[in-house]
Structure 1
Amino acid sequence: MIKAIFEYQFLQNAFIASILASIICGIMGVIIIEKKLVMMSGSIAHTSYGGVGLGYLMGFEPIIGAFLFSICAALGIGYIKRKGGTRSDVVIGLFWSLGMALGILFVALMPGYPPDLSSYLFGSILSVTKANLYLMVSLTFVVIFVIILLFNDWKAYLFDEEFASIIGIKTVFLEYLLLVLIAMSVVVLIRVVGIILVIALLTAPAATAGLLTSNLKKRMIYSVLLGNVFCIAGLWISYVINIASGAVIVIVSVIFYLLAYIVRSRYIRIKRKRISIANV
């Protein structure tokens, strides 16, 4: 496959896309897990399907529609959640369903044969275009810049939001900013693993890194590295046996996490047994 990367443009695009996706997963995944926003991220991802359908209906780039819908969903969920008008899980479920329903409706309204949206639902990293890459690079740069610029504020906000508010950190601003960053992350990942599989790639590398260290900065670094391993391994496997790349990447990620969890649990059990024997 290494030789093929230098020969084929679509493989070069896929390789670059996998690296960008890994960076996003590594950084944002840790924050999402720490703030328990996994299901909210899934809701934002599924809402973006409405934007994909609107893009096809109106004749503009579907990924732009997904971006707009993701941002609106993120801000909408954040506003309703903060106002406390209803339970957050209800809002998440409603936005989740609404986005998918709108996507189906917009595609149904199109004249002629409906387009194949499977690449947006399940991902198709091998079909990533130059335009997709430019958007992914821009969004990845924004996410990295914001996280690095406000890293100490993020640290305080993640581990003790009340304390962060007391010392003068604008937690409301950080909450809305975090939701917007999640929306950006979703758009970056749509072409890699698709709307349906976004949650797995956002959580698996970060969750695996969490088994290795509790330090926030190290978790992000390990998560980025693991994300690269998962994406490149999944890309290679899918290329060799000619199956959907997004699904393979997710399967590799989840299997690796489960193995790491089993090994760590066994290690902790053995360590406790040795301590108890030593105390006796």
Structure 2
Amino acid sequence: MSITSFLFDPFTYDFMTRALLTALISSVVCALLSCWLVLIGWSLMGDAVSHAVLPGVVIAYIVGAPFALGAVIFGFLAVGLIGVVRDTSRVKEDAAMGIVFTTLFSLGLVLISITPSQTDLQHIIFGNLLGVSRADLLQIAILGAIVLGVILIKRRDFTLYAFDPIHAHAIGLSPRILGATLLGLLALTAVIALQTVGVILIVAMLIIPGATAYLLTNKFSHMLIIVPSIAVVCALIGLYMSYYLDTASGAMIVLSQGLVFTLAYLFSPSHGIVANRRALARRNRSGAPTVEATATTP
């Protein structure tokens, strides 16, 4: 097989072309949002929202409404419930997230178990990238444009909120509104990624690219360039691998992202395990004091 055939044969099928566009849109949107989620420490929030949309999707299926409508409603509902539990009780935010998302996810599983036709709903749990229709692609493109537009317009405010919410408040910004906006974008992004990887793996696409870029650079502006690049490359690798190996497309995309993170974790020039050990070895050979050696006991 020639290189040209290897690269272009999969996309002679319409479903593969739609899958590629869907994977690129959802991967890039998730990757960009992951920059702020990683910096703020909202990994569990991404997990909470992505799982909490399941009952909304099932109810939408039962009543014949678009999946996105039910997912958006329950995504915002989950965010609201987490805030209510956190603000009106002694329960801390991480516990509130765990309670809300596991309860709503369980509700979704119960609804699936009592719904006569479960085929489409299983796709929501595990993803159905190769089954994306033209209408699904249009919906994903519109939601993706909305999320990207808000990110581009408010990126400086979000960044200040992530690094120093007190300073953001001092200059007239509302940390509460910025946080609510990010949570809203998170709910919309979960809807976008449903078709690609399903409810279970959405959190991976929301965390891995940002965490990878965080290991590769110390500048946030560089992160915003690195994460979409990682997302695009992993989406392409995942689709090609799934086509030629006959495996699940969404899972292969996430697996590709996990492998890229592993490489960054090991070989990042500034924060990789290998680089850190080499630097430590050089310091030991040169006789330079290490952090441990120079530390003082309080």
TM-score (norm 1): 0.92
Deviation at 1:148, TM superposition (A): 1.7
The sequence identity of aligned pairs, in percent, is 28
Cα 1:261–1:108 shift into 2, 3 Å: closer
**SS across alignment from 2:119:** coil
2:102 maps to what in 1? 97
1:267 maps to what in 2? 275
Which residue identity does 1:265 align to in structure 2?
I
The correspondence for 2:13, drawn from 5, 8, 21, is 8
User: Larger relative contact order (C-alpha < 8 A, sep ≥ 6)?
Assistant: 1
| 8 Å CA contact retained: 1:48, 1:66 | yes
The correspondence for 1:225, drawn from 220, 229, 251, is 229
Deviation at 1:108, TM superposition (A): 4.0
Question: Larger radius of gyration, structure 1 or 2?
Answer: 2
Deviation at 1:83, TM superposition (A): 5.2
User: How many Å separate the matches in 1 of 2:263 and 2:66?
Assistant: 40
Which residue identity does 2:34 align to in structure 1?
G
Structure 2 unaligned regions, length at least 5:
1-5, 289-298
Which residue identity does 1:65 align to in structure 2?
G
User: How many Å separate the matches in 1 of 2:9 and 2:56?
Assistant: 34
Deviation at 1:82, TM superposition (A): 4.7
The answer to whether residue 112 in structure 2 is matched with residue 107 in structure 1 is: yes
What CA RMSD, in Å, does the superposition of the two structures yield over aligned residues? 1.9
The answer to whether residue 197 in structure 2 is matched with residue 193 in structure 1 is: yes
The answer to whether residue 23 in structure 2 is matched with residue 49 in structure 1 is: no
The correspondence of residues 1-280 of structure 1 with structure 2, limited to 5 A, is 2-82=7-87, 86-110=91-115, 112-263=116-267, 264-278=272-286
| 8 Å CA contact retained: 1:44, 1:183 | yes
| 8 Å CA contact retained: 1:75, 1:176 | no
Which residue identity does 1:91 align to in structure 2?
A
User: How many Å separate the matches in 1 of 2:59 and 2:86?
Assistant: 26
Moved over 6 A (4+): none
Structure 1 unaligned regions, length at least 5:
none
**SS across alignment from 2:247:** coil
| 8 Å CA contact retained: 2:36, 2:159 | no
| 8 Å CA contact retained: 1:238, 1:245 | yes
| 8 Å CA contact retained: 1:78, 1:176 | no
Cα 1:67–1:248 shift into 2, 3 Å: same
Which residue identity does 1:31 align to in structure 2?
W
User: How many Å separate the matches in 2 of 1:26 and 1:273?
Assistant: 35
Cα 1:84–1:222 shift into 2, 3 Å: farther
